[in-house]
Structure 1
Amino acid sequence: MTGAAPVTADEFARRMAAFAPFEPRPVVAAAVSGGPDSLALTLLLADWAAARGGQVLAITVDHGLRPEAAAEARWVADVLAARGVAHRIAGWQGDRPDRVRQEHARAERYDRLREVCAREGVLHLALGHHRADRAETVLLRLKAQSGLDGLAGMAHQRELPDLRLIRPLLDLPKERLQATLAARCVDWVDDPTNRNPDHLRVQLRGVMPQLAADGLTLPRINALAGALGTARRTIEDAQDALLARAVVLHPAGFGWLDPVAFGAARPAVGDGALARLLLAVGGAIYPPRGGRLARLAGELRAGLPATRTLGGCQLIPRKRGVLVVREWERAVPVTLHPGTRAVVDGRVEVELSARAPGPAVVRPLGRAGWAALSARQPSLKSHALPGPVRPALLGVFDARHTGRGGAAGLAAVPDLSQVSSMAAVWLADWRYAPRRALTGAGFTVAQDEAHTM
């Protein structure tokens, strides 16, 4: 940290100007773990917002995975309260996988951040990623054989259906953020997860000095990511046009792909469009690895001979096109309590009514559930939904009465309308809103060190 200069208020204001416009009295949320990056961001944001008559809402997500995490979240709350910054702590919602991987924790963190922002009416969520984070992401994706989408690294701005993510510090070195806190006499939390050698990102961090000695410095990696980001934006425009021609996405969460339109597209465009379709239907945050994606795309161009699976989806050749549907066996059930909200299976936002009689389990019907339901309501046997879609439909089950499979305790299947007269009592909100939408705002790139986008 020796010699690093703190980030000044004027410098940070110029960075934030790149994300204009904001409201006349801007309200911005900041994801803060207590580490130096997110804590420096939060304090810089607080000063910036206060100077404009606005405010910052800091959000800490405690996954409950480390015993000391709860105390750290309270410490962050105290530090920010002393500086007049509003703070919320969010915990894991619903059932937790038996083995929580980094991608599970990351997905849960973003879901909780979005949930708090929606509840508080905040439209901008700032993240503390910096130059080293971006470079590490590029190297991770290079190792994973990612295509252009991955190698472009992190976007300075990403628009979601309900808010936008902004990264004002993305081209700054970590040392300047630590210097910013030191200048304010503010300490920070050192998360031991960031030193765990079992994590690939930590392993890469250890070899970065040697890479820099060989000329592969952080600025050079970031410059490469910026150039690739510009190319990515051009290709995304072509992908949007292809998706509009070749894909029909159903509100029940499945899609139809026109293989003729897909086959006419260049691989650089078609492969990325296919990845976006798999994300929208499968609910994942990151696309499948490049090799597997390219092989599937090649089969689609040649004429898909049989059902294939990738990215949590089944691709099934049919006369009207290729049916793309969620692999329902891979969906993780989520238990909700009255008045709570969660993103289920990465695809559907569900809010259980505060008037609900008790907790509910949201999970796919499965084959047994569909069979029991259609036996109860024979008219469903001739329903227009394709057969492979039916077991993948999410149902709302009364957790007090649900059994193993079947339709025991089934209160509602919203994509089929009500199953019981009590359905309205159970649900306050239900909408298909995948973490990664089929289309959206293009990749945002900073063109230079002045952070002009």
Structure 2
Amino acid sequence: MTDGAPVTAEEVAARMAAFDPFEPRPVVAVAVSGGPDSLALTLLLANWAAARGGRVLGITVDHGLRPEAAEEARWVGEVLAARGIEHRVVGWQGERPERVRQQHAREERYDRLRAVCAQEGILHLALGHHRADRAETVLLRLKGQSRLDGLAGMAHQREMPEVRLIRPLIDLPKGRLIATLRDRGLGWVDDPSNRNPDHLRVHMRALLPHLAEDGLTVTHINALAGALGTARRTVEAAQDALLARAVTLHPAGFARLDPGMFRDARPEVADGALARALLAVGGAIYPPRGGRLERLAGELRTGLSATRTLGGCQVIPCKAGLLVVREWERVAAMTLHPGEAAVVDGRFEVTLSPTAPGSAILRPLGRAGWAGLTQRQPSLKAHALPGPVRPALMGVFEAQECAADGARGLVAVPELSHLESNGCAWLADWRYAPRRALTGAGFTVVQDEAHTMS
């Protein structure tokens, strides 16, 4: 096949077979922005699913950052509706930061996609990343001084608590996706941010042709990523074993580490395991970049003597080893309305009861909140939770009564099983389920351009 040939139904079937098994009538969600990659994927998977008695749900996330985004989402809905494909548009959940960085937008996008899949009971979320996206990611992470886990690029599939992410097109060139749309007489959305040279990914994209002139082609970069991905899986298995022995993860969202076991492990294993502990407690998707992780891991090997912060976490020496606690001052408050569900701080899956008395604000207690709570219930002062954990506990506050700090309006602290008299009426579900679990399914790669999955 040439780089300008449309993608065939047979090719899609072969790629999707790599993700078997599916349910008898598969239902697949697709993240569709309206760009050529995601739109082509949505149409191709709709045909694949229909041939098996299933269906596709296209999900567009409108962050509200560009005025034209709403119109683009409407256009996507019209295109899909004309072809009998379901479509949903979701926006930013809760309060949006004044300055939204690309990482914020990306994390919010994944949270919203996961939430829709969980609500609909959809087990598979397809993403339209292609061959060049994978190579760009490797270059970005190389520039960011990533180690093995980052340089392996994108996973072919990734298991998450409520859904698995799949990338069926990751070994295909973008030109074939554009050809697929043209073959169907369709256009696509042109997001101007994809041409903004201030964005590092756009800069890396512009470098690829120049690198290819010197022999460092997209194919060569992806071949390297595939080899590193295979090595990454081996290291991940060792990290899983270390994490199972040396880390205890508490449902309140903190962890205890045995520093002796980390000191005895090989650095590449211990450093990665530390990063995964920080992700599970800090709620981020990507591990800390640069040399800060290495420096912290080095201090763990020589004996950490003072509190350090990294990845939105505090790492605190204590008698029982090390505590990893969320930096509660960095947690943004989130407002939920009755019946709404959300991933709060990238760590807690929360559903407000449809019959809740009103809107609720979810945020950490903070020191003032803990002090106010223990004034009401003095017995909590003797609670077994370590002192640094207490202000980081998430609380549910009645929105109309909530103050910026303190315990006013507090109706529930789920991890203390603390409920005010009407607290049971507020929460339908509360689970600690970080974006990146402490352990999980290993990294998966496309070994070569022939789409063989390991």
Please give the range of the TM-score, normalised by the shorter of the 2 chains. Answer: over 0.9
Letter in 2 for 1:321: G
Residue segments in structure 2 that go unaligned for 5+ positions in a row: none
| Sequence identity percentage | 77
| Range that drifts further, 199-208 or 38-47 | 199-208
Separation (CA, whole Å) in 2 of partners of 1:356 and 1:319: 42
Separation (CA, whole Å) in 2 of partners of 1:215 and 1:85: 42
Equivalent residue, structure 1, for 2:263: 263
| Range that drifts further, 254-263 or 341-350 | 341-350
Equivalent residue, structure 1, for 2:86: 86
Q: Secondary structure at the match of 2:418?
A: coil
Separation (CA, whole Å) in 2 of partners of 1:175 and 1:3: 6
| Range that drifts further, 207-216 or 433-442 | 207-216
Equivalent residue, structure 2, for 1:337: 337
Deviation at residue 103 of structure 1 after TM alignment: 0.7
Separation (CA, whole Å) in 1 of partners of 2:222 and 2:234: 19
Q: Secondary structure at the match of 1:79?
A: helix
Equivalent residue, structure 2, for 1:282: 282
Structure 1 residues 128-143: aligned runs within 5 Å? 128-143=128-143
Letter in 2 for 1:433: A
Separation (CA, whole Å) in 1 of partners of 2:164 and 2:99: 30
Q: Which aligned runs of 4 or more in structure 1 are off by greater than 3 angstroms?
A: none
Deviations 1:361-409 (A, max 9, x none): 1000000100111111100111000000000000001110111211010
Equivalent residue, structure 1, for 2:121: 121
Structure 1 residues 186-335: aligned runs within 5 Å? 186-335=186-335
Equivalent residue, structure 2, for 1:395: 395
Equivalent residue, structure 1, for 2:5: 5
Contact 2:223 2:447 in 1 (8 A): no
Separation (CA, whole Å) in 2 of partners of 1:332 and 1:113: 20
**TM-score of the aligned structures, taking structure 1 as reference length:** 0.99
Q: Secondary structure at the match of 2:150?
A: helix
Q: Secondary structure at the match of 1:241?
A: helix
Separation (CA, whole Å) in 2 of partners of 1:312 and 1:3: 43
Letter in 2 for 1:412: A
Deviation at residue 3 of structure 1 after TM alignment: 6.1
Separation (CA, whole Å) in 1 of partners of 2:283 and 2:422: 28
**Is 1:416 the equivalent of 2:397?**
no
Structure 1 residues 61-76: aligned runs within 5 Å? 61-76=61-76
Alpha-carbon RMSD across the aligned residues, in angstroms, is: 0.9
Separation (CA, whole Å) in 1 of partners of 2:261 and 2:131: 39
Separation (CA, whole Å) in 2 of partners of 1:216 and 1:252: 47
Q: Secondary structure at the match of 1:60?
A: strand
Equivalent residue, structure 2, for 1:358: 358
**TM-score of the aligned structures, taking structure 2 as reference length:** 0.98
Deviation at residue 196 of structure 1 after TM alignment: 1.1
Separation (CA, whole Å) in 1 of partners of 2:251 and 2:207: 46
Separation (CA, whole Å) in 2 of partners of 1:52 and 1:356: 41
Separation (CA, whole Å) in 2 of partners of 1:223 and 1:213: 17
Q: Secondary structure at the match of 1:367?
A: helix
Residue segments in structure 1 that go unaligned for 5+ positions in a row: none
Separation (CA, whole Å) in 2 of partners of 1:136 and 1:51: 34
Deviation at residue 356 of structure 1 after TM alignment: 1.1
Q: Secondary structure at the match of 1:203?
A: helix
Q: Flag the 1:370–1:171 CA change in 2: closer, same or farther, 3 A.
A: same
- Count of aligned residue pairs for this structure pair: 452
Q: Secondary structure at the match of 1:450?
A: coil
